[in-house]
Amino acid sequence: MIDRRHFSQAVSLWFVALPLTLATLTLSGCGKKDEGRETESGNQPAANQEISLSGAGATFPFPLYSKWMSEYNKLHPNVRINYNSIGSGGGIRQITAGTVDFGASDAPMSDSDGKKASGTLHHLPTTIGAVVVAYNVPGATSKLKLDSQLLAEVFLGKITKWNDPKLVAANPDAKLPALGITVVYRTDGSGTTAVFTDYLGTVSSEWKSSVGVGKAVKWPVGLGAKGNEGVTGQLKTTPGAVGYIELAYATQNKLTTASLKNKAGNYVDASSQAGTAAALGRLMPPSLFVSLADADGADAYPIASYTYLLIYQDAKDRVKGEALASFLWWAVHDGQRYAAGLDYAPLPPTVVLQLEERIKGLTFQGRKLLEIP
């Protein structure tokens, strides 16, 4: 069980570490400096100019991004941010093609993807989420517990019935029915798939060698669906189904999820606290992307992940670049307060500090977009 007293102390330290007020930001296109400071909205770009930003990509963080964009628009009505939740693969394709102002992915870009970009693309972690194993098993009387071996065998198609002796032995009180298992997986290029298969590839050598890891793999068995939304829909309507989705989708749709055995040998439910514990078990390198699969820690959820915005180092348009940088600064500071309420975990303070330096370094034609001390 999570030690709530220790966790509360850790969270308190995190929020003490986050800036209580944002430094005054100077926009190169405004002609004068902002007077005073804004604790809620951060930098305010081109206050009298209508600005529209577009992004596309991961469905994993969509509930949180939607909240951020709505709240930011309340603070800056002239800035509208539109986000198309099409999957990580689509987000990478669109940002490298230059058809959106920012992309989003739960998995780092490959070297080949990076070579397609017109300039240097940064991965900026924005929050931490959990991929849960959700299921629809009529008649099951208690929450299922799954270890890594059982999970791999289910998704490999080796366990095909819910009353399989291995599942019954692990869940003696669940009264599992003699019902076929229908695996539901993502058909689109998916960061959620990359996170889930990264975990399976970490804990199962058979999975790694026979199926592999990535945004799209050849599934041994099952029924495909598009997006976290599509998998959620199939799970709700298919008795016997099991699939992987981001925690927020399971919570919002009241789906039952399994407790998973972590590296420390403890069964853990997905939560913002368990995502935090996973992040604390892995240091963030200068590249600003890292896997949290099967992380260390007694309370760590084993299938947690950072999710990333993909941002060009040098903006093509000064006004849009300033607006985007200002939104990013707000998101990694004030925006983090919305994470836990939507089943995500706020960024560790050390990662926020790394992000501050990266955002302050964003440019237009070599000149910094934001002047922050």
Amino acid type, 127: T
Which of the pair, 27 or 252, is modelled with greater confidence?
A: 252
Name the CATH topology of 20-127+306-371: D-Maltodextrin-Binding Protein; domain 2 (3.40.190)
**Which regions of the chain does DSSP assign to beta strands (E)?**
26-27, 51-57, 79-85, 102-105, 121-135, 145-146, 182-186, 223-225, 241-246, 256-257, 259-261, 267-268, 304-312, 314-315, 363-364, 367-368, 370-371
> How does pLDDT run across 326-351, given as a tens digit for each residue?
999 999 999 999 999 999 999 999 99
Report the pLDDT value the prediction gives residue 46, as an integer from 0 to 100.
53
| Nearest by Cα to 229 from 272, 181, 192 | 192
Task: Point out the least confidently predicted range of 21-25, 193-197, 215-219, 282-286.
Answer: 21-25
Token pair belonging to 334:
């004030």
Report the pLDDT value the prediction gives residue 373, as an integer from 0 to 100.
76
Report the pLDDT value the prediction gives residue 34, as an integer from 0 to 100.
38
- Please give the mean pLDDT across all residues of the chain: 89
> How does pLDDT run across 112-140, given as a tens digit for each residue?
888 999 999 999 999 999 999 999 999 99
Q: What architecture does CATH give domain 130-280? A: 3-Layer(aba) Sandwich (3.40)
Confidence of residue 8 (pLDDT cuts 50, 70, 90): very low
Confidence of residue 4 (pLDDT cuts 50, 70, 90): very low
Report the pLDDT value the prediction gives residue 11, as an integer from 0 to 100.
38
Token pair belonging to 299:
């309370």
Whether residue 279 has pLDDT greater than 60 = yes
Whole-prediction pTM: 0.84
End-to-end CA distance of the chain: 42
What are the residue ranges of CATH 3.40.190.10 in the chain? 20-127+306-371, 130-280
Whether residue 45 has pLDDT greater than 60 = no
Token pair belonging to 371:
């002047």
